[in-house]
Amino acid sequence: MRISFSMIVKSALAALFLLLAGAAGAQQQVIFPRDELSIRTAGGETHRFSIELALTDAQRQQGLMYRKEMAPDHGMLFDFGDVRRVSMWMENTVLPLDMLFIQADGTISHIRENAVPFSRDIIDSQGPVKFVLEINAGRAKALGIGVGDRVIGKRIGNR
């Protein structure tokens, strides 16, 4: 059998198309359940958020990657299932974010403000946590949210 140059090119283009179509489809297949939670500050204020839940490995790996906008009162709650030290990063994440590291009882133990989009730098929880809440960068400061404040919600288990 004789293979022509045009057959090779056509095969290569077909393979490339299938590869790119599969990658794009994989990004869009991750579905996030929705919920709501509140953050009660030390000053007595309560701030409500509509959140998406990242509960599975696939959901946690996808997170907020590729999102170009998020409403000010929205976020994503990563539930790691057990209490442990957590490392996050911002690769393929377009939005600058505040990351709130949350203990099993809902207490915020660490906040990383203004995480840089597309960065591969590791963002460490600085201790064991069960959850991470990602919100738009600057929201924690604007709302007066700090370490020691309480996140309250059904998923946290304290509502």
> What are 62-106's pLDDT values in tens digits?
999 999 999 999 999 999 999 999 999 999 999 999 999 999 999
Q: Give the pLDDT confidence of 94-132 residue by residue, as tens digits.
A: 999 999 999 999 999 999 999 999 999 999 999 999 999
- CA torsion angle 85 123 36 43 (round to 10): 90
- Rounded-to-integer distance, Cα 22 and Cα 26, Å: 6
Tokens of 25: 């489809």
- Angstrom CA distances, 4 to 1, 9, 18, 141, stand at 10, 9, 22, 63
- List, in sequence order, every beta strand (DSSP E) within 7-158: 34-40, 46-54, 74-88, 97-102, 108-115, 123-136, 150-153
- Chain position carrying tokens 């133990």: 109
